[in-house]
Structure 1
């Protein structure tokens, strides 16, 4: 099965707008009891989340997983810091890129693969304002071409 394939539960659309994503990694997560049930229900948000490497381990911050409705007093904290499961070699590559080249590790999407919740993280370089304007111009030009073809074919 390809990286990033499975039932997509959450997507960070702003990441593609703000960063040039150069490489992606698939990471597992260490979750508590009711978190996986809330994730399967689609109650997850990646909007303001980010990944940091601390003491040779990857951690995701600000990922919001809503408390499970049928959960009891053992429900989880929605914004707790969660550990990501990556190989040591992958963590080494990420640390090198972040320190040396000024990259950022950005969560792209969360999905279920073979019964496990996975997170696709990307190594991205921040876009400048003029890069964003160029992307918007390209999108607008593509839309205009599609409109012209649609009008011509009708």
Structure 2
């Protein structure tokens, strides 16, 4: 019998969906130190300035993500904004690398969570939005919200 997978969300990057068109989503493991895991289990992290890069050796790295120092940590504490290695399959990394060579594409983290006790990050291949695209998205969201509100008030009568 298959066990249920428990997903405990630690942090999400809501701004990424506003600033980028999300084209493809991947799940990657994270190589962390002990104090980083303990700080994440306390629910403290920020993905706002985070991005992913791929080096010339074909390894994926998560950069700019802030995991604060563990409060009960000693001299073994980690640096809050250090580079963290992403654990992904070779073909996924190669696909991401080829897509990021195209103009306007980047890799951004969407969420950080624990899946069955293992730290995972959801990353997305994204294309940057222009200012008018952001306004258009907000306008569409507002229109659908107003339409839903009109439908619900019409039903109540």
TM-score by length of 1: 0.92
Question: Which of 88, 91, 101 pairs up with 1:89?
Answer: 91
The gaps in structure 1 that reach 5 residues or longer are none
User: 2 CA distance for matches of 1:141 and 1:100?
Assistant: 33
Match of 2:22 in 1: 21
Q: How many residues in Structure 1 have an aligned counterpart in Structure 2?
A: 151
Between 95-104 and 55-64, report the one with greater CA deviation: 95-104
User: 2 CA distance for matches of 1:101 and 1:25?
Assistant: 20
SS at match of 1:36: helix
TM-score by length of 2: 0.90
The gaps in structure 2 that reach 5 residues or longer are none
Runs of 4+ aligned residues of structure 1 deviating over 4 Å after TM superposition are: none
Question: Which of 41, 64, 88 pairs up with 1:62?
Answer: 64
User: 2 CA distance for matches of 1:31 and 1:51?
Assistant: 16
Counting only pairs closer than 5 Å after superposition, residues 111-150 of structure 1 correspond to structure 2 as: 111-150=113-152
Match of 1:40 in 2: 41
SS at match of 1:74: coil
RMSD: 1.6
Match of 1:105 in 2: 107
